[in-house]
Structure formats: structure tokens, C-alpha cells
Amino acid sequence: MKLIQIDPTNADSLAEIESAAFVIALDGTQTLETPVTKSKHLWHAGDGGKFSNNRFVDKPAQFICWTDQSSNTARGGLMGEHSAMDGTPIVRFCEFILENIEKFLHRLEEPVDQSIANARTDISMPLHLPFNESGLEASINEARDEVAKLSANGLSTDAWTQMIIQLAYSRLVAIEGSENVPAATYEAATMRSFINGRYECIRSTTSDSATFVDAMNNTEKTNADRKDALKTAVNTHVHNTKQVSSGHSVDRNLFDLQKSLYPSEQVPELLIDELFNKSSTWTISTSQISTKGFETYGWGEVAPHGFGVAYSIFENCLQFTVTNTVMYGTTKDKNGKGKKRNDTFVALFDEAAKDMLILFKPAQRQAKL
């Protein structure tokens, strides 16, 4: 390594970094106003990668901190390397940090507390914006009732969300004129109840999810048909999730067997089967982490033509982060079509979610589908 050859001291410095549990990168003052700009700053090391020299990516956890220019307050995020860690423990780690910062703020001694107050005197006070909310109470209560209906009907919110993804993708490929074949969809299931357990794969695409998608896109179907198909698909997903989480799955086992083969060994026919490989090419890679400590989170697509879909389920909303490569297209035509494709897919998430919610509203809304 040239850095070590230049000066032996570099080897000592590098050893310090590599032996650390995590890295903290300080990026100074930044103007990052939206979740997208913040995510790109964390993931891409700023606009054009200008902070690349202030990163050490070969580390399971890297905390990236900056001062928000508009509010003069501290901000931060995390960039992780998945092979060495999983989402659940790192989320708990972050929540622990935030909880202790909150406790610390309540225990500040008066002189320090006064210094903070003095430092804020030159910051403009927030402006109160008056709103006339008369008449909104009924709409708010109606929205709460709709959320309650999901639980009242015994529908898992995670499975519901997975069906949103399936429906949105079916409409994307229809717009693109591609073959309307359900995409292999990976959802992570934790296996931490087992010794050395990490993650397994829940296959979100099933015959029942395909039947549901077809019902939603078929104008000859009634809302009752669609609702029945949705309930069946959701129940199947819940059943599969329980099976996977209790150790009754095959994906990681087959993957390990595939990777354990020596170059000289003959590959079993199963592992070179066209259907096996197509169904294991994760066009849609999904997972759920729901924590109020993250404004947003996500990862890149697994397949070149696919999407990474991170989502969070909160009391009054679903939040999605959808990623894919900008350079989407054929080998001869990789011209940045991915941005438009992403925008279309995101819009279809909203459409799919609303169409599914209509199923639990009065029959007069049927015509909207």
C-alpha cells in the first residue's frame, strides 16, 4: 500500500482507524434542506463527492456530522457497511445515543445552559403561522378511522405495505411496456432468536399477491373482489413471515451452498436452473426499520434493473425511500433514464396506497378505480 510505503507513521494511523469500533466524520457547516439532499450527502459524500477525502467507507459504522447553516444546530447521519452488521442493532445503538443526549440536555448545569441560551439570541425567533382549522376535525377523525380499520380487519401493516410495493411495480412495468411478470422481491426477516442468526429472506411475491395485483388492475373486478384478494395476499405474507422467522426457509441455505462450491466442483442442476436464478435475482430489495430517530434511511438496488425500497411504518403514515441507478437502460443506452423511472415508481406508490385504501371506503368510491 503506497500510503504505508511513504511513511511508517501512516501504518500506525491506519491501524488506529481500522481498530476503531466506528468512525466520526465532521463535515463543517452545510445547507441540506431536504431528506433527499441529506441522504445524498451521506451516501455520495456531498455534491460531486467533494467530501470523499473525509470518509472511511471500509467500516461497519461511520457517523457523519455537520452544522445546519440555516438553524446553526448540529445534524448527523450514519453510513453503514452491511456485511459486518445488521439494521436492528445499529438502530438500537443510534436510539441509545439520542436518548442519552436528551437526558444530558435536561441535566445541564446553569452556566452551560445560560451559554447555550446566549448563543441562540441572534437566531430569529420562529414565526407563528395562524391557520383556520374549522371543519378539519371531521377529516382528521376520518383519517384516523381509516387507519384503525386496517387493524380492525386484522390486516398486518407490514404485509399491507408489501402489497403496495407489488401493486406499484406492476403498474410501472405496464407503463414501460415490459412483460407483466411479478418481480422477485426480498424482504429481510431477522433471525436473531437463533445463535449467530442474522437475516433470512421473506419472498413477498406469491401467487396470492399476483392474484391481488391482477384484481386491482382489472376493471371488471369489484371492490369486494379486490378486498378479498388483498386479505388473502396479506394473510399469506403473514404466514410466510412467521415460517421464515421460525427457521423454516431455504434461501440463505441455498445461497450458502452455492457460495461454498469450489471452482473445480460441478454445480448442481438446481443452482443453475433458470427459474431458480431468476427468482433469486432481487429486482426489489425491501426491509422495514421504524424508528423516530431517523428522518430517512435506505440502500442501493441489488439488481442493476431493480430498486431498493426501505420503508418505515409509523402511527399515522408510511414512509418509503426508493433508490435505483441513474444509469438505467441497455448497454448501448445507459443515458440516465433511472431518475425518471424512480419518479414514476414513487408516484405509483402513492397511487397504489390510495387505491388500496379506497377498498375500505363506501361503495360510491368504486368508480375511481
82 catalytically annotated:
yes
CB 234 within 8 A of CB 160: yes
CA dist., res. 234 & res. 150, Å (int): 11
Catalytic residue among 44, 82, 239, 248: 82
Closest C-alpha among 343, 279, 331, 272 to residue 304: 331
Neighbours of 344 (CB within 10 A): 14
Burial 44-62 (b: 16+ CB within 10 A, else e): ebbeeeebeeebeeebebb
> Residues with catalytic annotation?
82
